[in-house]
Amino acid sequence: MAGLARTQTADVESAAAAVRHAARPRIHTFISTSDIHITHQLRTTREDVKGQARAAVAHARSLVDDVEFSPMDATRADLEFTAEVVAIAVDEGATTINIPDTVGYTMPHEFDAYLRRLYELVPALREVTLSVHCHDDLGLAVANSFAGVLAGARQVECAVNGIGERAGNASLEEIIMLLHTRGDAVGLHTGAVTQEISRTSRLVSRLTGYAVQPNKAVVGRNAFAHESGIHQDGVLKERSTYEIMDATTVGLEANQIVLGKHSGRHALRQALEELGYRVDGEALKHAFERFKDIADKKKQVTAMDLEALVTDELRDEVAAYELEWFEVEASSRRPPHATVGVTTPEGHSVEGDFTGDGPVDAVFRAIGAATGMDARLREFRVDAVTGGEDALGEVSVVLELNGHTASGQGVSTDIIEAAGRAWMRALSLAVRKAGLDALSQSPAEPVTAP
């Protein structure tokens, strides 16, 4: 486990405190070596950067045995100067040197040449682990990371689903499957358990609120889908002519687990354990109640349904507000009208009603009337967890409250209910971010739209 820290003393010590209980603690400290950052962001000099790097790595090394150092914005920096800073970090005890393409600016052939020249300028670099960290601003993060591996890097810093600031980081699943599929061509392999890729991707998507685009490589909904007749024919043959990866290698076979409304609690727990979720006690009770509710509405409950259900129930943030019930009147002749019942953090029941541009919008506005929270919708997305007319729907929302944004997700066979759940979770998180004293609010009177 690594704690990331600027080269400031307080940051390094805070990182050390954060990882002190880890089995393998690491401090990762960084400072920029590009002149554009040194001049306009750090407002300092090259000599000061070298001094800060030396002091930070030495300090970190005195606190933990494993220290990583990054010359931020390295691919836009003077290579000779960056080499000087890297040499200082290695000399002070850094065990990993990470070369970041911080703004996704470089190209694969440039990155390859950069790293090979860096090895020449800093011979001691071969005695430590070389790492790369590439951003995807130009869509080259995975290609640049692979170029880094071919140049000698043995650590790639990447993210599940490629999540990250701006356009994101190199996608973990793409790097893994690239090495898994084409590793023989370059003599490199990864020990990753690839069958966990799809489930991990879905889990991260649900818990972060960032949906995976349908045509995303490896984990997108269409990654192993074939619509054209010639493609379908090729896939159905004994040896596929249009698949370079077997869908089962990324864990897609797991969605064949099927439960129904007559399945009991033991069967649910066993199915969840097969998916990697250990659920007992009250958590199992709540999950089973949700499962029975969904099973009454669906003919079959698949593994992906179960994952959505469990992560919906057991996500880290526990909603401060809960949607008890809702009623929606919709017509083509007048605006939809919604009435909702909401449980406040103190356990009080409040009601609100309002009209909207559509049923979902009316529910959101009615929740605002009930809670007195004037939140604004920033993003709204609906995805089907599984196929079919009785598919479980997953709604993701991003809202803004008092300048603070928060995301939430909800899962249900009823999209309006899923949207309401998502809104309540996002609202609860936004309230905490905004520092509003929601817990001390008294029950509101039912509000009627003018």
Exposed, middle or buried by CB within 10 Å (0-12, 13-18, 19+), for 394? buried
Give the count of beta carbons closer than 10 Å to the beta carbon of residue 163.
Answer: 16
380 within some domain: yes
C-alpha radius of gyration, the chain, whole number: 26
217 within some domain: no
297 within some domain: yes
244 within some domain: no
Transcribe 22-71 into DSSP letters.
Answer: SSS-EEEEEEE-SHHHHHHTS-S-HHHHHHHHHHHHHHHHHH-SEEEEEE
| Same-domain pairing of 42 and 185 | yes
Which residues form the domain of 309?
257-314
Q: Is the pLDDT confidence value at 445 over 50?
A: no
399 or 59, higher pLDDT: 59
Tell me 339's DSSP state.
E
243 within some domain: no
Which of 74-88, 191-205, 243-257, 392-406 shows the lowest mean pLDDT across its residues?
243-257
132 within some domain: yes
447 within some domain: no
384 or 331, higher pLDDT: 331
| Same-domain pairing of 140 and 110 | yes
Transcribe 94-110 into DSSP letters.
Answer: -SEEEEEETTS---HHH
| Same-domain pairing of 432 and 333 | yes
> Which two tokens mark 236?
């159905």
- Structural domain ending residue among the three candidates 284, 314, 344: 314
pLDDT score at 300: 67
Opening angle at CA 29, ends 24 and 32, nearest 5: 155
| Same-domain pairing of 53 and 192 | yes
302 within some domain: yes
| CATH number of the domain within which 402 lies | 3.30.160.270
- Structural domain ending residue among the three candidates 151, 179, 208: 208
31-83 residue pLDDT tens:
999 999 999 999 999 999 999 999 999 999 999 999 999 999 999 999 999 99
pLDDT score at 119: 97
332 or 102, higher pLDDT: 102
Structurally, the chain folds into a number of domains equal to: 3
Expressed in angstroms, the distance from the first to the final Cα of the chain is 55
Q: Is the pLDDT confidence value at 354 over 70?
A: yes
Q: Which of 196, 169, 194 is nearest to 180 (CA)?
A: 194
Question: In three state form, how does the secondary structure of 228-294 look?
Answer: CHHHHHHHHCCCCCCCCCCHHHHCHHHHHCEECCCCCHHHHHHHHHHCCCCCCHHHHHHHHHHHHHH
205-259 residue pLDDT tens:
878 878 888 889 998 877 776 433 333 344 344 445 556 787 778 877 544 455 7
| Same-domain pairing of 310 and 326 | no
| Same-domain pairing of 199 and 308 | no
255-303 residue pLDDT tens:
445 577 677 888 788 777 766 677 788 778 878 887 887 777 766 676 6
Write out the H or E segment, with its range, that includes residue 184.
helix 172-186
| Same-domain pairing of 307 and 330 | no
| Same-domain pairing of 203 and 291 | no
Contact predicate 354/449, CB 8 Å:
yes
pLDDT score at 389: 65
Which of 94-108, 192-206, 386-400 shows the lowest mean pLDDT across its residues?
386-400
| Same-domain pairing of 304 and 342 | no
Q: Which of 332, 333, 330, 349 is nearest to 341 (CA)?
A: 349
pLDDT score at 16: 97
Sorting pLDDT into bands at 50, 70 and 90, what band is 375? very high
| CATH number of the domain within which 29 lies | 3.20.20.70
